Structure 1
């Protein structure tokens, strides 16, 4: 228990984490290609977001090498250090970028990751994508070396298929290790992992699912349905996405209506209800990493862990979202 939040074990690891972590892509400071997806946040804003998350019971943070070429890692480390005692039990997950690289790069870049994190240990190191010049097995062998050397504590993957999850876990078992997690896109509007074997395999292997984009880039907050004009104010590629077009907003309105109904019952927001469904619909298998670019959004995330939908409400949301989800 942390600040009233019930912690749960992350997959096959010994990590006890809050059901929600904080996704830190938005800490990229506009650096690199993917860093330009979000507006540039000031250092004070980043520290406020991290402090608010910690104070509310979130005890882990997910970043990556590709987020600003290490800039997100550095900003996260600075914010955790600035939080002092509040961050004493915080955990950090980061990711190795595999595209146009081969497995030895995992060991070759680990010192860069540790330098960027400024003394914060890597509790979970993940392969960010399944596409590289190496097999999943060779990547897991490199990860196993890092665990043995004490450079990282646990091994995860991201965007891996069911078959690649099995390959990764099978290889890690050769070293007395297990695959801890698979970080994938998952939300009420994107339930593909329930159909392609990823969720089923995760449950079979005891692997945690870490859901990114759990609010579909803000769609599940309902604010764009309530005021479609807000779409015009978006920066980056979101404003051109099909999901934000008026006809798509109209089509998914019944799901948003139900989120509003349940939000009223729990004195919550639609986004909090959507997150609550995510972390409770599959027992303790699913964790989620919503982002936050403002402190009040971090507070919204935290409040999503302070109630629990009942089984009938979860089933109703599952049923209606299946009509609109990918």
Structure 2
């Protein structure tokens, strides 16, 4: 637990939550259930507990899960792990998400008890709309979120995959009830920088909304291991191996960035993944957090290591430049 005092916390939006710059993404705790749960191999309870324990010991104090991750199995697995860890998990914060597709905003309030049961009564510190498509508009969703906030079923509200206009609309609608929108969880990495061009990042900075970056390592591509040994792609389980970035052309396109990350990793005495994560949470100041996953304890250890150094301004700019060149190809 000694490492926890060394990790600086950031304020999540304008909330009263202070979180580590990296959280733990918990999609991989889905137990192979449901359509999206099949993306990852099944982890047993001991593995999940050890990953959560190691994350907490290293100063990571929040965990991001969702209803759709294994139809609640990820929430249950996370809750089981936190309960098994006892006092060690007292300070752990939980972010989860409501799945809106083919539902109305009434489902937000109507299903909240299911979320709390899956989490075994642990508090929902951040509740997020997983994506903007439902039978109800953004305003109706935010009015339902306000009900949950007023009844103290949840502590704070966020969104996920909202574009700039919908994020602004959600912020305004929630503000009518006196509550802030604190976060927008979106895909962002050195290989996917769309939020810098489409207005999402600018709006977040203007409104004081935190960006939570998912897939910050692009499903492992930024680790460099698939460039070093493409044979590893054959052993990937689930649909990930069929993504364009895992094809020969995709690997060749991203090689200049991967080579730079590897050189800097040697210079700092860390790994390429840690360089990529450190850039993600540093380049835009305190605005961007990230939620890498971990399917093994060593992955959790690597996440922790990304919080224990800072890239120099010159190296931040160098990575930025090469990333832009690669993405422009």
Map residues 153-302 of structure 1 onto 2, 5 A cutoff. Answer: 153-302=155-304
* 2:129–2:159 CA contact under 8 A, matched in 1: yes
- Structure 2 residue 98 is the aligned partner of structure 1 residue 96: yes
Query: Which digits, 9 at most, give the CA deviation of each residue in 1:101-132, with x for residues without a partner?
Result: 01000000000000000121000000000100
* 1:31–1:71 CA contact under 8 A, matched in 2: yes
Query: Which digits, 9 at most, give the CA deviation of each residue in 1:13-48, with x for residues without a partner?
Result: 110000000000010101111101100001100001
Superposition deviation, residue 9 in structure 1: 0.3
Superposition deviation, residue 181 in structure 1: 0.2
Q: Which runs of 4+ in 1 moved over 2 A?
A: none
Residue of 72, 76, 79 corresponding to 1:77: 79
3-state SS of 2:327 partner: coil
Superposition deviation, residue 224 in structure 1: 0.3
| d(CA) in 2 for partners of 1:248, 1:146 | 44
Query: Which digits, 9 at most, give the CA deviation of each residue in 1:191-247, with x for residues without a partner?
Result: 000000000000000000000000000000000000011111111111111100112
Query: Which digits, 9 at most, give the CA deviation of each residue in 1:163-189, with x for residues without a partner?
Result: 001000001111111100000000000
What is the root-mean-square deviation in Å for CA atoms of aligned residues? 0.9
| d(CA) in 2 for partners of 1:106, 1:259 | 42
Superposition deviation, residue 2 in structure 1: 3.2
Equivalent position of 1:66 in the other structure: 68
Unaligned runs of 5+ in 2: none
* 2:4–2:57 CA contact under 8 A, matched in 1: no
The count of aligned residue pairs is: 326
| d(CA) in 2 for partners of 1:92, 1:192 | 27
3-state SS of 1:48 partner: helix
Equivalent position of 2:142 in the other structure: 140
